[in-house]
With several copies, the nearest count.
Chain A
Amino acid sequence: MTLSREQMAQRVAQEIQDGFYVNLGIGIPTLVANYLPAGIEVMLQSENGLLGMGQFPTEETVDADLINAGKQTVTVAKGASFFDSAESFAMIRGGHVDLTVLGAFEVDVNGNIASYMIPGKLIKGMGGAMDLVAGAENIIVTMTHASKHGQSKLLANCSLPLTGKGCIKKVLTDLAFIEIKAGKFHLIEHAPGVTVEEIVKLTEGELVVPAKVPEMKF
């Protein structure tokens, strides 16, 4: 059984520690906020200029001047602050965000990531993704392990134009939790009901498989 989007978010959430400042990208990363471990405090950074993002507003509290990086209306959490875009990316580029979670099309054994552009298709832009991957010390990429047609997204070399070079160390897919070290993928955990063989088959880049691969816990 491959992980659902919610399970992927749930597994990523386990990596978050008390007192972390976290930037969550659009898509699965956004769902991570719903699965934070009990008893820990986290502040969400939104790169359009907000530290301490809260829940979505009610009809009564919706405010056009208060949105997140996905352009959705939001609210603020206790202790939040607003700032301009230069300051926001100073935080990101300067490595002050403890964890960044974002999606991707492809990742390779050298930690390269491709996530913003498919040649021939409409190019909408990289937004803040290039800044996030270049600045964060700690990034988790969330994506499906392979395309619908069974093509691996964990490659020896990214085939698409890069969003960042040599910056990804952790990937959470619907099949596995993988670390990238010294030019290789390392299998850290497999999803419940997914065999190591299936993971190996769908991983194009060199994958180091330890003798015993733990199953993800939820």
Chain B
Amino acid sequence: MAGFDKVVSSYEEAMAGLEDNMTIIAGGFGLCGIPENLISEIEKRGTKGLTIVSNNCGVDNFGLGLLLPNRQIKKIIASYVGENAEFERQMMSGELDVELTPQGTLAEKMRAGGAGIPAFFTATGYGTPVAEGKEEREIGGKHYILEHAIKGDFAIVKAWKADRYGNLIFRKTARNFNPMAATAGKITVVEVEEIVESGELDPDQIHTPGIYVNRIILGTFEKRIEQRTIQATQ
């Protein structure tokens, strides 16, 4: 890899350096905009004891749910962990540690991790179970709790397009947590649908500047739909 060319040619290379007990921050909301092939690579590697930071944990046989059967996940920090029978089993049996975090707080914690903000106050969760053990403070007559930043050893991200320098463009609501995740990994790996030459993307239209990105890989995606909802035909 010379200069800023961040393109790697195999998923093995993309996830090189991943070790047991690391923390991985993942983009995606439900199954939308998830780094599906990077997740499959983690499944294949069999890495164990992982802490996963992601809004959701996939479904039984897709997305982060793939890491459950072999018990690769030790802990997950997520806002909603519904649609997954194996997940529920491991959570109820105590095999899996689940830290529920409000969605906006989770997004802000990732952003803070990337932005060098170690902690911030938010009204979200004040007076709820989320506030337990956290500092509370009244500011300007309103109540807030202190939340801390999250950083990962790896961030795994799905973008639409990248240039070779790692500048990223996301597509529609597949953007979601991906830009924040990209900033918060010591090593940020991004899989994309298209790689263009550097200089081809409009500098005004880049969602994530390449400075946050370490590796880029071109993938093909199933893009499974969780709730396919179609208008009644007229």
Contacts and interface: CB of A to CB of B under 8 A. Distances in A.
A–B direct touch in complex (beta carbons closer than 8 A): yes
Interface of A: 18-19, 21, 40-41, 43, 45-52, 55-59, 62-68, 70-74, 76, 78-97, 112, 117, 122-131, 134-135, 161-166
Contacts of B31: 64, 71
Interface in B142-171: 143, 160, 163-165, 167, 170-171
Contacts of B228: 62, 72-73
A56 B102 contact: no
Interface of B is mostly: loop
A81 B227 contact: no
Contact of A80 (B178, B180, B203): B203
Nearest to A119: B129
B176 interface: yes
Given A79-B167, A93-B115, A163 B128 contact: yes
Given A49-B175, A62-B225, 7 more contacts: A71-B227, A84-B177, A89-B115, A91-B212, A94-B183, A127-B103, A130-B125
9 residue pairs, one from A and one from B, having the closest CB atoms: A165-B127, A89-B104, A41-B3, A93-B116, A131-B104, A90-B115, A79-B198, A64-B223, A125-B80
B33 interface: yes
Contacts of B124: 93, 130-131, 134-135
Contact of A131 (B82, B105, B160, B164): B105
A90 B184 CA distance: 11
Contacts of A58: 230-231, 233
Contacts of B123: 93, 134-135
Contacts of A112: 127
B104 A48 contact: no
Contacts of B35: none
Given A125-B82, A128-B79, A94 B180 contact: no
A110 B231 CA distance: 40
B114 to A, nearest CB: 5
B3 A86 contact: no
Contact of B203 (A52, A55, A87): A52
B129 A117 contact: yes
Contacts of B127: 112, 162, 164-166
Interface in B83-115: 88, 92, 98, 100, 102-108, 110-111, 113-115
Nearest to A84: B179
Interface string B205-226: 0110111100000000001111
A58 B171 CA distance: 19
B55 interface: yes
